[in-house]
Structure 1
Amino acid sequence: MCFPQIILNAFKQQKQVHLKSSQADLVTETDLRVETILKSAIRDKYPVHRFIGEESVAAGECVELTDSPTWIIDPIDGTANFVHRFPFVAISIAFTVNKQVKAPMEFGIVYSCVEDKLFYAQKGRGAFLNGEPLNASGQEGGITCEPDSDDDDEVRWQGLSGLCCIPDDMLCVCFSVRALGTAAVDMCQVATGGADAYYHIGMHCWDIAASSIIVQEAGGVVMDTDGSPFDMMSRRVIAASSTAVANRISQVIQAFPCRRDDEDQCRCICGGKGVNSV
């Protein structure tokens, strides 16, 4: 059985849910099983390749990027969605060599399982969704951000600010807000042109490595939230339709301190011990 089918079969079933670093940081037996299968299949063909996998790191493996070919794997991006049967759940796989933390990955794959949407890109060869070329919108003015559909500007302004913590300086150019609950798929929306920007502070390299090259190969821009070049280990990212949009966001974001993924290379982040059935 292929690993996407494992996820789909488990999607509607009762799940044993474990807590890792917080009440919102979840893992299921399916996360663990899919990562094990993926790593085993790749290792059989490429025995000297290295891995950075979300669940392996949670169990104490090192986050270490070397010159060796390295696969960066999130077996289920959107585990909270998976647990609550919200249909945005993705497998994210990136491949990198020579410590590529800032340059584009060699290739990236994001598969949105329930939607049956396969996003993929290879460096210098473009980005695709189910075989069709992807192109970012190229938007440089107003950006797409929609918890509130009220036509009154003042009501919309207050609703967006209160619900989404969007800086006031951005609200005047923000048409609507969308959040799917999976960083990988959210970033891929920028590659499709369905969204003009995405930013996040606090995710991990396995959440954004694959989608970063998909956005770039679709003509979009990826950078750090402070406007510096993208570094997947920094745990900060802006993905945007254009440099103008990315720069505008970087100028108004109020960043907060966030430990790099590679700062403490060998650590266990599985602090929680609770187990729940959902």
Structure 2
Amino acid sequence: MIAYCDEKGTEAESGQDLEIKTKGQPEDFCTRVDIENENLVMEGLLKSFPTHTIIGEESVGNNPLPPLTTDPTWIIDPIDGNTNFASGLPLTCVSIGFCDKKNPVIGVVYAPMTDEVYLAVRGYGAYRNGVKITQRETKALCDAVVCFEFGYARDQEAVDKMVGAVRKILEHGCRTCRCLGSGVLDLCYVATGRLDVVYAGVAGEGWKPWDYCAGFVVATEAGCTMQPIAQLSKTDFDIYSSSVICGVSSNLVQELRATISRKCMAFA
């Protein structure tokens, strides 16, 4: 899989036809490589685990999300950061997560352009290229690198909420803001300290299970806190949630939540 993804990762820069197909709106699309990657991963998993369930982004397509059952389940994003990939930007990855009795327990993320592998197993820690990721010093929001993803929402109300959240963060104060275009890598970068906190979903533009699953295991095994935006009392993150805040500490997550909640509403 790794050699395949590395080879295909050069296609956008080489000008080859990626056969881009939209999924109902121009911002949401897949390429030929998405489908080829997903088929390759699914074939390999089913060969080793023929009785397991697989939920893949491209196999789901525009259909309703299948429910997560207690069956052993693999959740795949064949290319996260599709716009980056199609544009020749390096922040893209393949994400494979595994759930046991509905709980994410294994996460594998491969970023071919930067040649990085993130691996985490519940209870055994998280690793980047074989080196264990260790907990870092916590930060206040005023000192934090804050990442957000706007997703595909484009109506006026949603845009106002998304931009309003960024405005509140800037008014409160932070070191800087970033929007990188790959939710899975956002979570891995919070785990490794490249980012301090990431959020998405203030206007229903949150992510899908394949954006959360593997990254959730990597981030939480590295000591990070990951929660939906609105549910203050919820301790276990639901990979079917439509919103997320992931930060290096629970205090930072709470501070960011309080800051963006001043004006933004309708969190999920």
> Do Structure 1 and Structure 2 share a fold, with TM-score over 0.5?
yes
The question of whether the paired residues in 2 share the 8 Å contact of 1:51 and 1:70 is answered with yes
Query: Which of 49, 66, 70 lines up with 1:67 in the alignment?
Result: 70
Identity of aligned residues (%): 29
CA separation of 1:92 and 1:164: change in aligned 2, threshold 3 A: farther
User: Who is 1:134 aligned against?
Assistant: 133
The question of whether the paired residues in 1 share the 8 Å contact of 2:9 and 2:85 is answered with no
Query: Which of 90, 115, 119 lines up with 1:87 in the alignment?
Result: 90
1:190-201 alignment, distance < 5 Å: 190-201=190-201
Structure 2, unpaired ranges of 5+: 148-161
In structure 2, the residue corresponding to 1:139 is in which secondary structure? coil
1:233 aligns with 2:240: yes
CA shift for structure 1 position 200: 0.9
The question of whether the paired residues in 1 share the 8 Å contact of 2:20 and 2:30 is answered with yes
User: Who is 1:210 aligned against?
Assistant: 214
Q: Give, as a single letter, the amino acid of the residue that structure 2 aligns with 1:8.
A: G
Q: Give, as a single letter, the amino acid of the residue that structure 2 aligns with 1:143.
A: A
Q: Distance in 1 between matches of 2:69 and 2:109?
A: 23
CA shift for structure 1 position 138: 3.5
CA shift for structure 1 position 7: 2.6
Higher relative contact order (CA 8 A, sep 6+): 1
CA shift for structure 1 position 59: 5.5
The question of whether the paired residues in 1 share the 8 Å contact of 2:243 and 2:267 is answered with no
Q: Distance in 2 between matches of 1:138 and 1:92?
A: 27
User: Who is 2:4 aligned against?
Assistant: 3
1:100-249 alignment, distance < 5 Å: 100=103, 105-141=104-140, 142-145=143-146, 165-168=165-168, 171-201=171-201, 202-226=206-230, 227=232, 228-229=234-235, 230-249=237-256
1:24 aligns with 2:27: yes
CA shift for structure 1 position 194: 1.4
CA shift for structure 1 position 140: 3.2
RMSD of aligned Cα (Å):
2.3
Q: Distance in 2 between matches of 1:232 and 1:173?
A: 30
Q: Distance in 2 between matches of 1:40 and 1:73?
A: 12
Q: Distance in 1 between matches of 2:135 and 2:185?
A: 14
Q: Distance in 2 between matches of 1:145 and 1:89?
A: 19
Aligned length: 240
The question of whether the paired residues in 1 share the 8 Å contact of 2:96 and 2:214 is answered with yes
CA separation of 1:59 and 1:7: change in aligned 2, threshold 3 A: farther
Query: Which of 101, 104, 123 lines up with 1:98 in the alignment?
Result: 101
The question of whether the paired residues in 1 share the 8 Å contact of 2:146 and 2:198 is answered with no
CA shift for structure 1 position 34: 0.6
Q: Which is further off, 131-140 or 84-93?
A: 131-140
CA separation of 1:188 and 1:224: change in aligned 2, threshold 3 A: same
The question of whether the paired residues in 2 share the 8 Å contact of 1:137 and 1:196 is answered with no
CA shift for structure 1 position 35: 0.3
Q: Distance in 2 between matches of 1:240 and 1:47?
A: 36
1:34 aligns with 2:37: yes
CA shift for structure 1 position 135: 2.7
Q: Distance in 2 between matches of 1:169 and 1:76?
A: 30
